[in-house]
Amino acid sequence: MTIHPTAIIDSGAELDSSVSVGPYAIIGKGVRIDADSQIGPHAFLSGPLTIGKANNIGAFSCIGAPPQDIKYKGEETLLKIGDGNIIREYCSLHRGSPGGHGVTTIGSNCMLMAYSHVAHDCTIGNNVILVNNATLGGHVEIGDRVTVGGMTAVHQFSRIGEYSFIGGMSGISMDVPPYVIVAGIRNDMQVRGINKIGLKRAGFSNDDIRNLGRAFTLIFKTRELLLQEALEKVKTEIPDSAPVARMVEFFNVSNRNVVRLSSDDE
């Protein structure tokens, strides 16, 4: 264990022997950090907080602070972080709230760039990228391999489906389906197309990408169809595609409006 002499570590914190802690970092009671994680200078970590293996926590980040919820009265809640994440300088990640899950969860192999904010009760999957100043409201759910562009704000309780890409400076106030590219502000959010580059990088087959393109046309481009009519047509015409079935399921289980306006709509 390498701990700078200016770091302050509470006796109630648990650090693996391989953890390194930089100058002036503060690690409070109830923080647990697993093997090979690095804590940068001036980082502030407060518990209850669990951090997995091989995470890199940047300078001046605030990890595990209480939820920004006026109903919060000091109850014990949790922030749980997986393995292999890069959390850059000045990020703020908050614990859950009693009125939500009681836990904020961040998966593994994510990159949270400078000044990103993850509010209480958010659930973030694996291999997610939050670009500089991306801001998540409370209770947001983000699937695996999502990229959220810089200076984008995501409204509380919104869901962003896996493998989607959110353009920079967007304002997300509705659910975003999986596999798509979305950009825009609130009522002007537009679906630009299937995230073909992201899907190819993730190893999706040409057939999967082609089927998602067909589904995209029916759901987002065929304006004479009501949404449920479009979804039924997708199930009938593209019956044997797991990604397409996942897209249909996302619409069917959504409790909020799902963005459906495509980029060439008036």
Q: Is 135 helix (H, G, I), strand (E, B) or coil?
A: strand
* Token pair belonging to 153: 């704000």
Q: Which listed residue (42, 94, 117, 120) is catalytic?
A: 120
DSSP 188: G
Catalytic residue among 96, 100, 138, 161: 138
Residues in the chain: 266
- Residue 264 is encoded by which pair of tokens? 């060439």
Residue 120 known to be catalytic: yes
Per annotation, catalytic residue among 34, 69, 83, 121 = 121
Element (H, E) at 39: strand 38-39
Closest CA to 57 of 31, 17, 88, 22: 88
Q: Which residues contact 192 (CB under 8 A, 6 or more apart)?
A: 167, 180, 181, 182, 183, 262, 263
Q: Which residues are catalytic?
A: 120-121, 138
